[in-house]
Amino acid sequence: MAKKKLQHFAEVETFSNVFQHMQHGPELEDLPLKGKWNEEYFKNNNPIVLEVGCGKGEYTIGLAERFPEKNFIGADLKGARIWRGSKTAIENNMKNVAFLRVRIEQIEKMFAKGEISEIWITFPDPQPQEKREKKRLTSPRFIAKYKNILTPEGKINLKTDSEFFYNYTMEVIKQSNYKLLESTNNLYDHARTMAYSDELESLLNIKTYYEQKFTAKGFNICYAKFEIS
Ligand SMILES: C[S@@+](CC[C@H](N)C(=O)[O-])C[C@H]1O[C@@H](n2cnc3c(N)ncnc32)[C@H](O)[C@@H]1O
């Protein structure tokens, strides 16, 4: 492993805004903060928004800057990526941000039922091979887990450069009769006739590492927001 990556790995262990809960197997115990994030970490009663597969955490940080009255948690299994977001949050003294180094498969060990008010899935690995369907972060397997941590009116947002992944998610929404609130397969279509609300416009303008990479290559960005209750 590169020296810098190793340094980031070691440093992230010392950060007070990062929680790592990674051992393998179904025996993984609940994270001690499960059900107590607001009481013991954020020390307020604000809604908690979770980003799954947050990478370097640009979305978590961008949302936390725009919405100081909400709490934000970025989750990813890669410690060296999480380092970037958590370092920025520490440098900017952001009290409404935390990062979790976990497998999303075990997300129910991290949060109690109804503890999360909204989920963001930003530029997930599309996993196009049929046999990897269950690894897709909007597959029924993951949605069932999100249902167990979201509030009844909780929302899921997806931003992706992959038309394949977007269409797959639309099919999951349709099959399960979930309530589709917003959807477009070309978010930045300048010729669009539909105006977005100021809030949506400001949210969608946060660009992650992967979004910048794919828009530079000319990919359209797709966006969907839906409810699973
Ligand atoms: C393509 S990257 C996108 C990162 C970031 N959201 C962005 O837009 O720049 C996908 C991220 O999802 C994470 N990821 C994929 N499957 C995961 C899982 N099952 N549990 C935790 N993280 C996962 C990967 O480690 C990776 O950082």
Q: How far is the CA of 123 from the centre of ligand 1 (A)?
A: 8
Residue 205 pLDDT greater than 70, yes or no: yes
Residue 191 pLDDT greater than 80, yes or no: no
Q: Which of 75, 65, 119, 123 is nearest to 95 (CA)?
A: 65
Check pocket membership of 210 for ligand 1, CB cut-off 6 A: yes
Please identify, in words, the CATH class of the domain defined by 3-227: alpha beta
Question: Which ligand 1 atom is the nearest neighbour of the CA of 124?
Answer: 10
The pLDDT tens digits for 72-116 are 999 999 999 999 999 999 999 999 999 999 999 999 999 999 999
Check pocket membership of 118 for ligand 1, CB cut-off 6 A: no
pLDDT band at 25 (very low <50, low <70, confident <90, very high): low
- Over the chain, what is the mean pLDDT? 93
Q: Is residue 189 annotated as part of the catalytic site, yes or no?
A: no
Check pocket membership of 208 for ligand 1, CB cut-off 6 A: yes
Check pocket membership of 76 for ligand 1, CB cut-off 6 A: yes
Question: CA-based angle 199:185:50, to the nearest 5?
Answer: 50
The dihedral over CA atoms of 67, 68, 70, 72, expressed in degrees to the nearest 10, equals 90
pLDDT band at 60 (very low <50, low <70, confident <90, very high): very high
Check pocket membership of 55 for ligand 1, CB cut-off 6 A: yes
Query: Atom 14 in ligand 1: which residue has the minimum CA distance?
Result: 53
What is the arrangement of strands in the sheet containing 116-122, beginning at the earlier edge strand? 18-20, 97-101, 71-76, 48-52, 116-122, 150-160, 222-227, 179-184
pLDDT band at 229 (very low <50, low <70, confident <90, very high): confident
pLDDT band at 6 (very low <50, low <70, confident <90, very high): confident
Q: How far is the CA of 195 from the centre of ligand 1 (A)?
A: 30
The pLDDT tens digits for 137-162 are 999 999 999 999 999 999 999 999 99
Query: Which residue of 123, 159, 187 sits with most ligand 1 atoms within 8 Å of its CB, as the best mutation to test the pocket?
Result: 123
Domain ranges of the chain: 3-227
Find the radius of gyration of the CA atoms of the chain.
17
Which pair of tokens denotes residue 68?
A: 């100081």
